[in-house]
Copies of this chain bind each other. A is one copy, B any other.
Amino acid sequence: MRHAPPAILTHNVSVAFDGKPAVSGISASFPDCAINAIVGPSGCGKSSFLSALNRLNESVPGCKVDGNIELFGAALGRFAPNREELRRTVAMIFQRPVPFPLSIRRNMEIPITEHYGRNRQETAGRCEAALKSVGLWGEVENRLDMPATQLSGGQQQRLCLARALALEPRILLLDEPTSALDPMAAGLIEELLRELKSQMSLVLVTHNLAQARRLADTVTFFWMKDGHGYVAESGPADTLFNTPREDVSRAYFAGHIG
């Protein structure tokens, strides 16, 4: 009897900018229905690696991704027939919330109609469901036509989450999603992520070790050597935090370096 394939399986992935590698030789496996944290110091290529998973750095000039990526057991190309489909299925949330400078409603509607066609009722339904799932519905229900940029930082980030969730992704990539938010707002997002992991695979890049301790099921620890990042150690969260094998992980998790 075989296990279900992991949500994400990478083999020897490297990302280079203008020929200069930012990360290289990344082989990692992220299970479904789990929060997979990526931790490590600045500049070690966490964001670059994350963007490779939904081919978002393809539009960065001079950026080249090598290696194999499989999603749910299928090569990236077979998993999603085209880039748009891939982006819908593998959603991405950034450090700073990026609401479009439009109304809250338009922020939600534009991606929904793009992927599911123009159907007024279905769109409204999806929009409401997604906003409810991030706990924003009650707060904005009566002012959907107000500019999204007038929301607080935490609300904006939740709106961005809702915007992505409305497309029903199977994988959610998060690049330090709470590091620009105040602790209450960050707490709300953390709670949300815990709820979401029953439905999808989450990959969470974070600087905040405490956050990783609180949330992560698996941890992948990036470190730098020769000017580019690599995976120094990875595995279940417990193992990494309590009994890391490598010297560098031990020093990092004990707070001596990084």
Interface, chain A (partner B; CB < 8 A): 41-44, 153, 178-187, 207-210, 213-214, 223-224, 255-258
Contact = CB atoms under 8 A, between A and B. Distances in A.
A47 to B, nearest CB: 12
B224 A183 contact: yes
Given A187-B257, A214-B255, A214-B256, A42 B182 contact: yes
Contacts of A187: 257
A161 to B, nearest CB: 17
Contacts of A184: 224
Q: Is the interface of A mostly helix, strand, loop or mixed?
A: loop
B224 A258 contact: no
A255 B209 CA distance: 8
B255 A186 contact: no
B256 A43 contact: no
A258 B44 CA distance: 23
Nearest to A213: B255
A71 to B, nearest CB: 29
Given A42-B179, A210-B255, 4 more contacts: A41-B183, A42-B178, A183-B257, A208-B258
Given A210-B256, A214-B255, A223 B183 contact: yes
A179 B223 CA distance: 15
16 contacts: A41-B183, A41-B186, A42-B179, A42-B182, A42-B183, A42-B186, A43-B153, A43-B183, A43-B185, A179-B207, A182-B224, A183-B258, A184-B224, A186-B258, A209-B255, A214-B255
A5 to B, nearest CB: 33
B182 A43 contact: yes
B41 A182 contact: yes
Contacts of A209: 209-210, 255
Given A187-B257, A258-B186, A180 B213 contact: no
A179 B209 CA distance: 14
A119 to B, nearest CB: 39
Contacts of A42: 178-183, 186
A44 B182 contact: yes
A25 B41 CA distance: 34
Contacts of A213: 255
Contacts of A153: 43
A258 B41 contact: no
Nearest to A178: B42
